[in-house]
Structure 1
Amino acid sequence: MLVTLDKIREQVAGKHPAIDAWLDVRRTLLVEYMQLAGLMPPYSKTLPSKEALSDFCDRLVDYISAGHFEIYEILIDAYEKVQEKEHHLSLTNRLIDRIQDTTESILDFNERYGDISDDEMPELEADLSQLGLTLEERFKLEDKLVLVLNVLSDDNKPEQPQKSVTTA
């Protein structure tokens, strides 16, 4: 997921500051998820602390909230400004509907683990695994939204005249 994120980030870097910042937050969230799940050095099979889990849940909710209440609005506004906007808006709405399905699962995870005691984590490993799958699906859908915006913004730029190179 980090490699894919880096590729997306390279393609859209600098085109919209809010999207750049949101993708940076996603990177932090992914690293934190991988640490909680024991997928990054130091690899750990022990349960994370309730503070680490609570902090992760807070950032997770902040990330999905930014998507729904800021980023997707930016994308929809951009789509409305292009030709064939009905096609792009239809695609956007379908993607956002699918993203909404992942939101419910993520909020369920947050509800379960956002404020718990150490002895309330018997299914954390399985739930983290399921959350990883959900995040992967969500990120793929969000990447499609961002890449469509990238293509649209490139298509709507006036073409730059080619400079001729003369040799003496």
Structure 2
Amino acid sequence: MLVTLDKIRQQVAGKHPVIDAWLDVRRNLLVEYMQLAGLMPPYRKTLPTKEELSDFCDRLVDYVSAGHFEIYEILIAAYEKAEGRHLTLTNRLIDRIQDTTESILDFNERYGDGCDDEMPELEADLSQLGLTLEERFKFEDKLVLVLNVLSEEEQAAAAETR
């Protein structure tokens, strides 16, 4: 997921500062997830603490909220400005992203506000969350790449009118 994210960041770097910042937040969230799940050094031998889980959930919900209430609105406005080109695709992608939002909010509900001392399903839930995030990021990347295409089309049209 980090390699894919880095490729997307290279393709769109500097074109949309808000998108750049959002992708940076995603990268930090992804690294935190991988550390929490014990997928990168230092490899975790114990379950994360309630506080670690709660902090992660806060950042996870912030990321999801920024997508829904800021980033997707920017993307939709750009598509509408482009006279609706790619708007149908955008709406389908946002619907698919919404499906992942439900799973993410379920994880937050379970672990975000502190939880029982024993968390017997945490490893399975973290694994499922990883799959959900991977799916979500794939759809978000498509949205960002479509915006990149629109920007390139707009630049080409502007160059033709000169």
Deviations 1:99-139 (A, max 9, x none): 00000000000000001245141100000000000000000
5+ long unaligned stretches in structure 2:
none
Deviations 1:41-77 (A, max 9, x none): 0111310011111000000000000000000000000
TM-score, length-normalised on structure 2?
Answer: 0.94
User: Partner residue of 1:165?
Assistant: none
User: Partner residue of 1:61?
Assistant: 61
User: Which residues of 2 match residues 100-115 of structure 1 at below 5 A?
Assistant: 100-115=98-113
- What CA distance in whole angstroms lies between the structure 1 residues aligned with 2:153 and 2:37? 41
Is the aligned partner of 1:71 residue 2:71?
yes
User: Partner residue of 1:146?
Assistant: 144
Question: For structure 1, which segment, 114-123 or 72-81, has the greater mean C-alpha deviation from structure 2 after superposition?
Answer: 114-123
Query: Match of 1:159, SS?
Result: helix
- What CA distance in whole angstroms lies between the structure 1 residues aligned with 2:37 and 2:123? 7
User: Partner residue of 2:114?
Assistant: 116
Is the 2:32–2:56 contact (alpha carbons within 8 Å) kept by the matching residues of 1? yes
Please state how far the C-alpha of 1:14 moved relative to its aligned partner. 1.0
- What CA distance in whole angstroms lies between the structure 2 residues aligned with 1:25 and 1:81? 27
User: Partner residue of 1:163?
Assistant: none
Is the aligned partner of 1:34 residue 2:39?
no
TM-score, length-normalised on structure 1?
Answer: 0.91
Moved over 2 A (4+): none
Is the 1:49–1:118 contact (alpha carbons within 8 Å) kept by the matching residues of 2? no
Higher Rg of the two aligned structures: 1
Question: For structure 1, which segment, 107-116 or 118-127, has the greater mean C-alpha deviation from structure 2 after superposition?
Answer: 118-127
CA RMSD of aligned residues (A): 1.2
User: Partner residue of 2:45?
Assistant: 45
User: Partner residue of 2:7?
Assistant: 7
How many residues are treated as equivalent by the alignment?
A: 158
Percent identity at matched positions?
85
- What CA distance in whole angstroms lies between the structure 2 residues aligned with 1:40 and 1:99? 26
5+ long unaligned stretches in structure 1:
161-168
